[in-house]
Amino acid sequence: MICINAITITPAAQQWLAGTTHARLLNVFEHACNLVNQNGAIMALATQLLPRAPFALQIEAADFHGLKAADAVHVLGSELYLGQWHILTASAQLWNPVPDWATVRRALTTNPDLFNSLSQQALASCPPESLMELYSAPGSNPVLKQSALGAAALVNGVRTRTLDLAIDGALQLAGLGQGLTPSGDDFIIGVMLAAWAGLYGAAAEEFCVALAHAAAPRTTSLSAAFLHATARGEAMSAWHTLFAALACPDNLPAALGAVLKIGHTSGADALAGFIASCYWKDIRISQQLEATNC
């Protein structure tokens, strides 16, 4: 048995450990894996090489390649047994995945140029094949075309407080794209983060629970976990770093870079949703925008 110490733990991970009677290994990556319990709840295990997820247990360096789908998972109090691993969580530091939204809103309200600068830098730094291309030319890419229609409905719905329109957009985006966190879901997450950041005005975050509830059944279990976490106002640690950089704009490029490194294009796709409140008129879908009277 290999003993491994947990470094940080989120409230969601604590709840997962407390409420799990049986679980299994869902998927394995180079520096992380995901566990799912009898209720369908997910907890991520990850090393310090990755940003912390809102439902993560961060552990010391470990060889994730040694894990197999058949490895047994057991929870005994605050201790987790996974295959040959014995993970000790009692001394893990609690990490709150909810950013200081009041401070974020205040920074963006008192200095609106910050958001413009962030948006411009994001557009200049985005990788190819991400939903950032919505702000240039969707072209003939069918995924981008469908994403554009859903993005217009979602953004305009949140912007005008039209819940049915916002949900229609979320339903078009949910599960759209490849991977365990499809691009359409990441865009929804970005829009929800923008709502929490006050970019759609007061109380826009109230839409988030409804959006996550609508989108989650149409996508992967892992992506659904991120949607529900964002609806609660939680964010990955890289986003915390980005929000903290609002107080020191010289740090914005590096903080944006950290977000863009999330997944293949997940960070860029979420950034596309986050900046949509500023650049929504630039999405090349004028007919759709006219149809929604925006």
Is the pLDDT reported for residue 284 higher than 60?
no
Q: Are 100 and 109 in contact (CB under 8 A)?
A: no
CA distances 33 to 53, 82, 257, Å, are: 12, 11, 23
CA distances 269 to 184, 244, 272, 275, 276, Å, are: 8, 20, 5, 10, 11
**Alpha-carbon gap, residue 3 to 187, rounded angstroms:** 38
> Of 138, 160, 157, which Cα lies nearest the Cα of 147?
138
CA distances 182 to 138, 170, 178, 216, Å, are: 17, 13, 5, 12
What are the residue ranges spanned by the domains of the chain? 2-94, 101-291
HEC string of 123-185 equals: HHHCCCCCHHHHHCCCCCCHHHHHHHHHHHHHHHHHHHCCHHHHHHHHHHHCCCCCCCCCHHH
Confidence of residue 103 (pLDDT cuts 50, 70, 90): very high
**How many residues does this entry show for the chain?**
294
Dump pLDDT digits (tens) for 220-278: 999 999 999 999 999 999 999 999 999 998 999 999 999 999 999 999 999 999 999 87
Report the pLDDT value the prediction gives residue 85, as an integer from 0 to 100. Answer: 93
State whether the Cα torsion 162-164-168-170 is positive or negative. Answer: positive
Judged by average pLDDT, the poorest of 96-105, 129-138, 183-192 is 129-138
Is the pLDDT reported for residue 90 higher than 50?
yes
Dihedrals phi, psi of 5, to nearest 5 degrees? -90, 140
Dump pLDDT digits (tens) for 126-176: 888 899 988 876 556 777 888 888 999 999 999 999 999 999 999 999 999
| Averaged pLDDT score across all residues of the chain | 90
**Alpha-carbon gap, residue 191 to 272, rounded angstroms:** 8
pTM of the model: 0.93
Dump pLDDT digits (tens) for 190-224: 999 999 999 998 888 999 999 999 999 999 999 99
List, as one string, the DSSP characters of 40-91: S-EEEEE-TTSPPPTTEEEES---GGG--TT--EEEETTEEEETTEEEE-TT
Dihedrals phi, psi of 49, to nearest 5 degrees? -75, -15
